[in-house]
Amino acid sequence: MVDFTLTEEQQSMRELAHDFAEKEIRPVAWEYDRDATWPQEIIEKAWELGLMNIHLPTEYGGPGLSYLDGCLIEEELSWGCSGIGTSLGCNGLATAPVALAASDELKREYLGRLTEAPLLASFCLTEPDAGSDVSGMKTTARRVGDKWVINGSKCFITNGGYASWYTVYAKTDKEAGHRGISCFVVPRDAGVVVDKHEDKMGQRASNTATVTFNDVEIPANHLVGEENHGFKVAMMTLDRTRPAVAAMATGVARAAMEFAIDYSKQRTQFGVPIAMHQAIQFMIADMATKVHLSRLATWNSAVLLDQGKRNTIESSHAKRFAADSAMEVCTDAVQVYGGYGFIKDYPVEKLMRDAKILQLYEGTAQIQRLVIARETLLPRRVAQPTAAPA
Per the CB < 8 A criterion, the answer to whether 80 and 252 are in contact is no
Q: How far is the CB of 99 from ligand FAD (least distance, A)?
A: 17
Site for ligand FAD in 97-126 (CB under 6 A): 122-126
Residue 258 bears catalytic tag = no
The smaller minimum CB distance to ligand FAD, of residues 162 and 263, is found at 162
Q: Can you tell me which of 258, 361, 374, 387 binds ligand FAD, judged by CB under 6 A?
A: 361
β-pair type (121-124, 165-171): parallel
The smaller minimum CB distance to ligand FAD, of residues 99 and 157, is found at 157
DSSP 119-147: --EEEE--BTTBSS-GGG---EEEEETTE
The alpha carbon dihedral of 179, 184, 190, 191 has a sign of: positive
Q: How far is the CB of 232 from ligand FAD (least distance, A)?
A: 16
Q: Can you tell me which of 57, 63, 112, 131 binds ligand FAD, judged by CB under 6 A?
A: 131
| Other beta carbons within 10 Å of 389 | 5
Q: How far is the CB of 56 from ligand FAD (least distance, A)?
A: 18
Per the CB < 8 A criterion, the answer to whether 131 and 155 are in contact is no
The smaller minimum CB distance to ligand FAD, of residues 14 and 356, is found at 356
Q: Can you tell me which of 348, 357, 358, 372 binds ligand FAD, judged by CB under 6 A?
A: 357
Q: Is 165 helix (H, G, I), strand (E, B) or coil?
A: strand
How far apart, in whole angstroms, are the C-alpha atoms of residue 386 and residue 307?
13
Q: Can you tell me which of 194, 235, 288, 360 binds ligand FAD, judged by CB under 6 A?
A: 360
How far apart, in whole angstroms, are the C-alpha atoms of residue 122 and residue 348?
29
Segments in the chain forming alpha helices (H): 8-20, 26-35, 40-49, 67-80, 82-101, 104-106, 112-116, 230-266, 278-306, 312-337, 348-358, 365-377
Q: How far is the CB of 284 from ligand FAD (least distance, A)?
A: 29
Binding mask 133-162 for ligand FAD (x = CB under 6 A): -----------------------xxx----
How far apart, in whole angstroms, are the C-alpha atoms of residue 118 and residue 30?
24
The smaller minimum CB distance to ligand FAD, of residues 109 and 354, is found at 354
The smaller minimum CB distance to ligand FAD, of residues 264 and 316, is found at 316
| Other beta carbons within 10 Å of 117 | 9
User: Could you say whether residue 284 binds ligand FAD (CB under 6 A)?
Assistant: no
Q: How far is the CB of 132 from ligand FAD (least distance, A)?
A: 3
Catalytic residues: 362
Q: Given the rule CB under 6 A, which residues bind ligand FAD?
A: 122-126, 131-132, 156-158, 200, 208, 357, 360-362, 364, 366-367, 370
